[in-house]
Every structure is written in C-alpha cells, then in structure tokens.
Amino acid sequence: MTTILPQIYKFDASMANIFDRFKEKFDNWYGSLTTIRTIDKFFAIFLLTIWIIILVSYFIPGNYIFEGNLIIESLNFTYNGNDDKLFLQKIEAIKSINFQGKLEQPIALSGTFSTDNDPELQNKLANIDTLTVELPFPESRFIINQKNNLETTQVSLIELRIEPETNINQLNYNNTNNSLEFCLHSIKHSSEYCEFPENIDNYELPVNIGQLRLELGQDTLEIQLGQINIPELNLNRTEEITLQFTPNNNDTININLLSSHQLFITLPKEKDENNAITWFRKDIDVKNVQFSRYKTT
C-alpha cells in the first residue's frame, strides 16, 4: 500500500494541472470570442447607420451631379451667362438657311441679281448691284437656298452668338430633312411668339437676342423673301419674291437678331458624324432645361 498511494497522488496532481491549463485556455478563448462579438455588433450598427443615411437621402431635395446620355426629340433651355456666348460655329456647305423674324437693321446684299418670273422686275435688277432687304415684321422671312440642287455649296454659318437671358426653344434635329430647327426669344417674351409670330406687338421694344454671321461664297444662290421691304425696287411688304443672287467676293453678312426669331438650317451630309459635335459650343451655363419625349441611355 505504501507504494500505490504516491502513484495515485501523482496522477491526481497531473489531472489537476491539465484541468487548470484547459480552464485557462478556455477562459482566454471565451474572452477573445466576447471581444470579437462586441466588434461585430459595432460593425453591424455602423453598416445599418450607413444604409439608413442612404435611404433617407433619396427623400431629401438637393443638387446632384450625374453623367449620362439622353436621346430626345426637342430641347428647351435659357442661357444663364453674363456675357454673349458662342452657340453654333463653322457649319460649312449648308444647303439652306431660313430665318423668320424682325430685324432692326437691313441686310445688304452686293452682287448680281436676276429673276425668272417677272420681266419688269428683271429690267430693274439688271442695273442694280446692291439690294437693301428690310425685315420690319415678326413674319418677315429671309431664305437662302442652294441653286439647282447642287451637292455642295459655299454657304457657311460662321457663328451664332446668343445674349444672356435668351431662350433656345424647340431645339431639334429633323432626320427626314437633315435639318436643325430652333427658336430664339427673350425671357421677356412668351414662347408662344415662336409658334404665332403674328401675335407679337410690332410696337413692343425690341430685345437683342444674338448675332448671326454667314459667309455666302461665290456660287449663285436662290433667295426667297416674304413680308419684306426693298427700297431700291420700291417693294413694300411684298408677299413673296424669289431672286437669283451671285455674291461679290465671298461676301459675309452680319445679322443682329431680335426676339423672337426662328431658324431652320438644312445641314450638309457629314461623312464623319463626329464633325457635327464641333458645331455646338460646349460648357454653356443654362437653366430651365426641358426635354420632350426623351429616354436615357
């Protein structure tokens, strides 16, 4: 018996040590687990807070910056800058340009003139090398067409500048006619003037809305005029007249546009579609932007 008791005691002591080490490791593991769970709780609360902020932000009005493309039928906006701004530039070889509206200053044309429809008028034109075309009414029309359906022309829109607080209304591209159409008018005037120019009060103070500069080239052009005055021919508010006109020395004409004015431009056929992007000036400060029949891409 004396030999067995020490062995039993040693065995009990070894078991106690093993139990103590196990308990110590368990306590360390449980403490680590508790710490991890505490971190997970804080992380979960943090994520929940972020999601709540994002959800609430959808219902808070504010200004947001985004990028994207829009395919639209027409566009309206107001130029919000402080100085006149370049809007269109360098559209070369245009097939026709049609603008309708009142001008404060006449358009002076220098070159040779003729007509096929009126022998009496032709006799007058034979002795004239300069015509002064007055557009005194909101319905006055001035149209430049290429002659004989030529494939290319020398007529170019050098630039169109717009004044502050000018509305660009119903800006759209007509794919059928390959034309660009829009109306310019001051914010002081109703947009209805674009559709019904005859409603404009002719005694209303004129408002300058922009400047148009055209290069006519040297080819013979067809000029269609309506509701205009030509002092050299004693024509007053003529309903419609068509002339053939060959400019002198690649003439450039400058036109100060008054509110309200409609423009229709038949564009050249561009082999490279990227060329059309350069026609429009970028970085224009605008407000009151409105789209018609659009979809996002």
In the chain, where are the structural domains located? 1-65, 73-296
User: Confidence band (pLDDT; 50, 70, 90) for 28?
Assistant: low
pLDDT the model gives residue 109: 93
Q: What is the pLDDT of residue 154?
A: 84
Cα 109 from Cα 259, distance rounded (Å): 23
Give the model's confidence band at 2: pLDDT under 50 very low, under 70 low, under 90 confident, else very high. very low
Report the pLDDT value the prediction gives residue 255, as an integer from 0 to 100.
92
Proportion of the chain above pLDDT 90, given as a percent: 30
25, 29, 34, 36: CA torsion to nearest 10: 150
Among residues 184, 182, 179, 173, the alpha carbon closest in space to that of 211 is found at: 184
Instruction: Give the closest residue to 207 by CA, choosing from 113, 101, 278, 115.
Output: 101
Angle at 13 between CA 8 and CA 14, to 5 degrees: 100
Note the pLDDT tens digit of each residue in 193-204: 777 676 666 556
Query: CA of 162: how far to CAs of 8, 13, 86, 248, in Å?
Result: 107, 100, 7, 28
Burial 95-125 (b: 16+ CB within 10 A, else e): bbbbbbbbbeebbebebebebeeeeebeebb
Which two tokens mark 37?
Answer: 């769970």
Check: CB of residue 128 under 8 Å from CB of residue 185: no
Q: Which two tokens stand for residue 97?
A: 């340009």
- Phi and psi dihedrals of 39, rounded to 5? -65, -40
Average pLDDT over residues 227-246: 89
Higher-scoring residue by pLDDT: 46, 242 = 242
pLDDT band at 13 (very low <50, low <70, confident <90, very high): low
- Look at residue 1 in the predicted model and tell me its pLDDT: 45
**Dihedrals φ, ψ of 79, to 5°?**
-75, 125
